[in-house]
Chain A
Amino acid sequence: MSNTEKLLEVKDLHVSYGAIAAIKGIDLYVKKGEVVTILGANGAGKTTTLRTISGLLKPISGNIIFDGKDITQTPAHDIVSLGMSHSPEGRRVFGTLSVEENLMMGAYSLKKHDAKTLEWIYEILPRLKERRGQLAGTLSGGEQQMLAIGRAIMSKPKLLILDEPSLGLAPVLVKVIFKAIKQIANSGVTVLLVEQNAKAALRLANRGYVLELGKISHEGSSEELLNSETIQEAYLGKKK
Chain B
Amino acid sequence: MDIFLQQIVNGLTIGSLYALVALGYTMVYGVMRLINFAHGDLVALSAFVGLTVYTQIFGEGITSLIAVVAVFMFTAVIVAVVGVLLERLAYRPLRTAPRLSAVVSALGAGLVIQNAVMLIWGPNMKIFPSEIFPSTIWAIGGIVVTFTQVMILGLSSALMVALYFFINRTKMGTAIRAVAIDQDAAKLMGINVNRIIMVIFIIGSALGAVAGLFIGAYYRGITFDMGWMYGLNAFVAAIMGGIGNIPGAMLGGLLLGLFNAMITGYISTQWAETFTFVLLIVILVFRPTGILGEKVAEKV
A positions within 8 Å CB-CB of B: 54-56, 75-78, 80-81, 85-88, 90, 92-97, 101, 104-106, 108-109, 135, 137-141, 144, 151-152, 155
Contacts and interface: CB of A to CB of B under 8 A. Distances in A.
B295 A86 contact: no
Given A88-B184, A104-B171, A96 B189 contact: no
Nearest to A139: B299
Given A96-B177, A97-B174, A97-B177, A77 B299 contact: no
Nearest to A80: B190
B203 to A, nearest CB: 19
A97 B178 contact: yes
A97 B181 contact: yes
B182 interface: yes
Q: Which of A75, A77, A95, A144 has most B Cβ within 10 Å?
A: A77
A80 B182 contact: no
Interface residues of B, number: 22
B187 interface: yes
A94 B184 contact: no
B175 interface: yes
Contact of A76 (B171, B187, B295): B187
B189 A95 contact: no
A152 B190 CA distance: 11
Given A77-B193, A96-B297, A108 B175 contact: yes
A101 B181 CA distance: 13
A94 B181 contact: yes
Nearest to A113: B171
A155 B190 contact: yes
A144 B189 CA distance: 16
B2 interface: no
CB-based closest 7 A-B pairs: A137-B297, A109-B190, A80-B190, A95-B298, A92-B185, A76-B187, A108-B189
B298 A77 contact: no
A77 B193 CA distance: 8
Contact of B189 (A55, A56, A78, A105): A105
B297 A138 contact: yes
Given A94-B182, A96-B295, A139-B299, A77 B191 contact: yes
Contacts of A88: 184-185, 188
Contacts of A77: 187, 189-193
Interface string B158-195: 00000000000001001101100110111111111100
Given A108-B171, A138-B297, A144-B299, A94 B178 contact: yes
Contacts of A141: 299
Contacts of A55: 187
B188 A85 contact: yes
Q: Which of A75, A87, A96, A144 has most B Cβ within 10 Å?
A: A96
Contacts of B188: 54, 56, 76, 80, 85-88, 92, 152
B229 to A, nearest CB: 33
